[in-house]
Structure 1
């Protein structure tokens, strides 16, 4: 499958992308891709380093005639989000991504593609391996664990880099230059419930919500897409208002930075209440389908018989459902300063109730730290009222725009010259690593850009070939414009 990808232009970039995608690279398990990157740098006889946390740095001297330019950092992250369709048989820990060329797009066969941030990594590799691309001295920084904690950026050695300019290649709109992003914090709740065996007077049903679009919990949160955990909670609430129900299990969502596409519960109730349960379920199901008919065309909600095992009590079920109803999901506040920018949001990313053990995982994002704390504490309060243990972790800062950025002025002028219109200068609601890198190196002049990537963090992820060509052209021309030291 990758052979068709390798034929696309620019071939050097696509060849490196295909090589990269052959290496399993889940967040927090980047050993293989780190070794791959170290071997790549050494094969070019370039200086290669790893810092204590596992980031890989490859240095390449300036090309002839560019020695008097400022040195630059080119940065992308090595890990990728792992999501697959429910009916796709795929092991992210052992298999390389199966890629397909479909007209002007490249996508994966039922899984995430890894264009986020693999295209950025491949572009840097193409520059490092080139013999005819003009560029200043480069420090290529490949960070780890961006998607589930930004650990690489957080723990980056403060003394390992020397450049004053950083080009981050992790933006997903090819007509944008980003100069700011949201920060985030993980909100987690846990609780252990007593379980009891169900009597023969009870029956159990498995309810499944699937077929949702999913997507990036930052960039796509403004779209109002369906959240499988929230939909499931509505179904449970509709039944609970009529009948005493007991939960056996709840499994919804996976990663904090992915809008949950699927959820499944096993719910139990007295057999005499079956008709009432089905009536409430169908009424709520129809309402959800009607509300999302134009957004979630593949939404599938089903109910089927299953076996009785053990369940938590009706009272505990109520408190859990009430808590899930109360947790805010989606946009919380739009920016009053930047038109169309989501300032603050929350993703109810994962709900797992298994054998009485509950975990709820959220990712709260904001470009304003005080607003991030406000929403995180509101969510925490709901969890505490349900007597859950709560924890805030993984806090990382936003990237505050620099109105005096020299690189922004250079990039805007070059983009306008190349494409005959001005780029959008944006702050995004995603969690770029620039905020953390700026904390480690306060004097960095940073911009972020990239090609059009759609459906990131979902199996619908794809990248536009022509957009990659545009991004590549912009990058090569921008390298020639790096100012003198």
Structure 2
């Protein structure tokens, strides 16, 4: 109830309704039906394309018929991450929210403000009777977070708008005019195994901050896969044999937790080396990862092991694979040009998969990082696949809509906005490939901790964003 009393009430009402509907990436059937029903309940032109995107059209308000048609765009899916001790089913449960000062948070899970606040804002415009606006198309895309399937599948000729306002930026003083492209890099291998029963070493890492693998990659946060690989690498001198690894999760989230089981020929010696390494890691991350927890123990287990030689090959490949910032942009100060996130490592009964998300605002450096990863993994005998490649969004700082937003922001808030390109995968790049003449810009309310259970949305910023958007709609240029 606290949430429903917040201003602007229209947005928080719609966000609450949206968050009652499960909407994991690639499992958006319920939210597609929800948005379709919403549009139809308003007697607006509503349809679902063959990919699953929902398009709702609303005529211009009186006096705005001579303005260019706009597209308001946000994605329906959300990143599903939860704390290890949180019991929650993202496929059946609605997000449990609460108000904490100026922030709206979720109880132990991601909040879904990315990009649910954008969706709720568009819903609020669609149902409004007193907000002036030109003719508009609301484009609700699917599966942005794990493949941009909706933007990929958007067909030419579907949209009629001339200007696209993407509501998926997470700092309210930023106007985004460009973004990184990306490619999924995956490595696989099947190892021969032998049964093992007895004492093994278990290394478990928990409590890392995680975060968005694009926007937060520059912050130097711990990656559970990288830290685990350090504990495995230090054991190579002890004839290490891997049993299993379960670490990380989604490609677009910096992994927060991971566990590995393995045997060594001298556990007492390994435990000494591991404790030294643990102290070093805790010291390295003491100012960034204050909640990090590293547990090293001997446990009884019954699992299948891969050979000493295969274990060494796997560990060396993982150690050689690049993680983090690869190159800073030489043209835009403070912008990460290229990076990689080693997102998930799983070894189970001899079956290995290593999942990465490589990003870059420059296509050639995107592929340079991807090929570096290919080399590291193929040296370990793995099969490597590149999938889901999508382009970046080339900035156009002098477009008419960007200048309009800059002028409104400066006049309204008394300060200039930050006109930026971001190291994240906005759908504008793909939509622009389908509609090369469409002007595009991205903005939104302040959201912190996206892609992690620390995700939170600023209430005051949402009010600011709502007021800003309404002024933008009033000043859309004439046809």
C-alpha deviation, 1:240, in angstroms: 1.9
C-alpha deviation, 1:204, in angstroms: 0.7
Q: Show structure 1 runs of 4+ deviating over 3 A.
A: none
Contact 1:206 1:306 in 2 (8 A): no
Q: Please, what is the CA RMSD of the aligned residues?
A: 0.8
1:347 corresponds to:
341
C-alpha deviation, 1:70, in angstroms: 0.7
Aligned to 1:29, what secondary structure does the other structure show? coil
1:229 aligned to 225, 233, 250, which one? 225
Deviations 1:259-304 (A, max 9, x none): 000000111123xx12101101101111110000000000000023
Question: Separation in 1 of the partners of 2:474 and 2:54?
Answer: 25
1:110 aligned to 94, 108, 111, which one? 108
Question: Separation in 2 of the partners of 1:190 and 1:22?
Answer: 37
Question: Separation in 1 of the partners of 2:28 and 2:324?
Answer: 31
2:44 corresponds to:
46
Contact 2:246 2:258 in 1 (8 A): yes
* 1:446 aligned onto 2:444: no
Contact 2:51 2:150 in 1 (8 A): yes
Contact 1:74 1:168 in 2 (8 A): yes
Deviations 1:149-172 (A, max 9, x none): 001001102111111100000000
Deviations 1:390-432 (A, max 9, x none): 0000000000011331000100000001100000000000100
2:461 corresponds to:
467
Structure 2 length normalisation: TM-score? 0.99
C-alpha deviation, 1:198, in angstroms: 2.9
C-alpha deviation, 1:306, in angstroms: 3.1
2:310 corresponds to:
316
C-alpha deviation, 1:309, in angstroms: 2.4
2:34 corresponds to:
36
Question: Separation in 1 of the partners of 2:361 and 2:227?
Answer: 27
Contact 2:235 2:264 in 1 (8 A): no
1:398 corresponds to:
392
* 1:333 aligned onto 2:327: yes
C-alpha deviation, 1:145, in angstroms: 0.3
2:146 aligned to 148, 158, 161, which one? 148
1:286 corresponds to:
279
1:256 corresponds to:
251
* 1:301 aligned onto 2:297: no
2:54 corresponds to:
56
1:205 corresponds to:
201
Question: Separation in 2 of the partners of 1:306 and 1:336?
Answer: 52
Show the 5 A alignment for 1:106-185: 106-185=104-183
Contact 2:59 2:134 in 1 (8 A): yes
Contact 2:71 2:161 in 1 (8 A): yes
Question: Separation in 2 of the partners of 1:150 and 1:275?
Answer: 48
1:215 aligned to 198, 205, 211, which one? 211
C-alpha deviation, 1:51, in angstroms: 0.9
Contact 2:200 2:262 in 1 (8 A): yes
Contact 1:52 1:157 in 2 (8 A): no
Deviations 1:209-242 (A, max 9, x none): 010000000000000000000000001111223x
* 1:408 aligned onto 2:402: yes
Question: Separation in 2 of the partners of 1:248 and 1:306?
Answer: 12
Aligned to 1:484, what secondary structure does the other structure show? coil
Deviations 1:37-63 (A, max 9, x none): 000000001000111101000000011
Contact 1:182 1:429 in 2 (8 A): yes
Aligned to 2:47, what secondary structure does the other structure show? strand
1:245 corresponds to:
240
Aligned to 2:137, what secondary structure does the other structure show? strand
C-alpha deviation, 1:482, in angstroms: 0.2
1:379 aligned to 370, 373, 383, which one? 373
Flag structure 1 segments of 5+ consecutive residues without an equivalent: none
Question: Separation in 1 of the partners of 2:93 and 2:436?
Answer: 39
Show the 5 A alignment for 1:83-94: 83-94=81-92
Flag structure 2 segments of 5+ consecutive residues without an equivalent: none
Contact 2:303 2:349 in 1 (8 A): no
Question: Separation in 2 of the partners of 1:323 and 1:423?
Answer: 44
Question: Separation in 1 of the partners of 2:210 and 2:195?
Answer: 35
Question: Separation in 1 of the partners of 2:428 and 2:370?
Answer: 22
Question: Separation in 1 of the partners of 2:338 and 2:264?
Answer: 39
Contact 1:256 1:347 in 2 (8 A): yes
Aligned to 2:415, what secondary structure does the other structure show? coil
Aligned to 2:319, what secondary structure does the other structure show? helix
C-alpha deviation, 1:320, in angstroms: 0.6
1:72 corresponds to:
70
1:26 corresponds to:
24
C-alpha deviation, 1:203, in angstroms: 2.3
Question: Separation in 1 of the partners of 2:128 and 2:451?
Answer: 30
Question: Separation in 2 of the partners of 1:356 and 1:5?
Answer: 48
Deviations 1:23-49 (A, max 9, x none): 000001100000000000000010001
Question: Separation in 2 of the partners of 1:152 and 1:308?
Answer: 43
